[in-house]
């Protein structure tokens, strides 16, 4: 069974810092990997989607990488802002179209 | 840890029939649950927010008469796809908000195939 782990569980940084969130998974037979943002009391907002054949996706200040062989993905956030404060979830979609979500990283950006 | 159970995991039905999907929070009370849909090779799309004891709030473009949501208790929300058609075939996933842990937990999803 696929297991998805996110480290760290919580992160607090001053505004303007660049930061990296980590996601690891145990089964490399994945269809794609997605990064989501969750604001308190809200549903998910999709940030980036990386297909299994891709190694990287970028959107604005966000960059996500995927290393399937090592079972890792990172989400890089450049020049962090207070508005980036949220919980970030990664989700691995298996080739059987099953979703496996990580436990999330709670990010606080201090003004 | 908190668990959200979603059933069925897979359903195949004939065009014109209705399909009900259940989402249960097993060890916490969820006043708010969310329903998502995913098309192949696309990311999750939020369909609606379900609040216990009140009407669901639907996202723009989602037909409320087509996708009936009922959140009658603090542990159960249901999504009924009424008069399903092949274009409704998709992967549906629910999530439940745990206020105590301030976290969102997800069901394992339902793959709907309409013939």
pLDDT given at position A103: 79
Token pair listed for A102? 């990580």
The string of pLDDT tens digits covering residues A51-93 is 899 999 999 999 999 999 999 999 999 999 999 999 899 988 7
pLDDT higher than threshold 70 for residue A97: no
Instruction: Please check whether residue A53 touches B, CB under 8 A.
Output: no
- Contact at CB, B34 and A44, closer than 8 angstroms: yes
- Contact at CB, A43 and B104, closer than 8 angstroms: yes
Out of B95, B103, B109, name the one closest to residue A43 (CB): B95
The string of pLDDT tens digits covering residues B22-45 is 999 998 888 889 898 877 656 667
pLDDT given at position A96: 60
Nearest residue of chain B to residue A92 (CA atoms): B43
pLDDT given at position B98: 73
User: Buried b vs exposed e over A13-33: b needs ≥16 C-beta within 10 Å?
Assistant: beeeeebebebbbeeeebebb
pLDDT higher than threshold 90 for residue B96: no
Average pLDDT, chain A: 89
């Amino acid at each position: 069974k696929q297991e998805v782990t996110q480290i760290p569980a919580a992160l607090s940084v001053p505004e303007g810092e660049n930061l990296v969130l980590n996601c690891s998974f145990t089964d490399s037979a994945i269809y794609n990997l997605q990064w989501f943002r969750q604001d308190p009391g809200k549903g998910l907002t999709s940030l980036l989607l990386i297909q299994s054949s891709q190694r990287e996706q970028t959107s604005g200040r966000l960059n996500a990488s995927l290393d399937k062989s090592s079972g890792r993905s990172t989400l890089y956030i450049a020049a962090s802002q207070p508005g980036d404060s949220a919980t970030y979830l990664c989700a691995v979609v298996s080739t059987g179209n099953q979703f496996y979500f990580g436990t999330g990283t709670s990010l606080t950006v201090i003004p | 840890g908190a668990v959200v159970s979603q059933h069925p995991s897979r359903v195949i039905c004939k065009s014109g029939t209705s399909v009900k999907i259940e989402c249960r929070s097993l060890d916490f009370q969820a006043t708010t649950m969310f329903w998502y849909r995913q098309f192949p090779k696309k990311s999750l799309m939020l369909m609606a927010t379900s609040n216990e004891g009140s009407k669901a709030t639907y996202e723009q473009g989602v037909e409320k008469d087509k996708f009936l949501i009922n959140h009658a208790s603090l542990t159960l929300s249901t999504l009924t796809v009424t008069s399903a058609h092949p274009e409704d075939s998709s992967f549906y996933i629910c999530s439940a908000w745990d206020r105590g842990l301030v976290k969102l937990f997800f069901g394992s999803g339902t793959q709907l195939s309409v013939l």
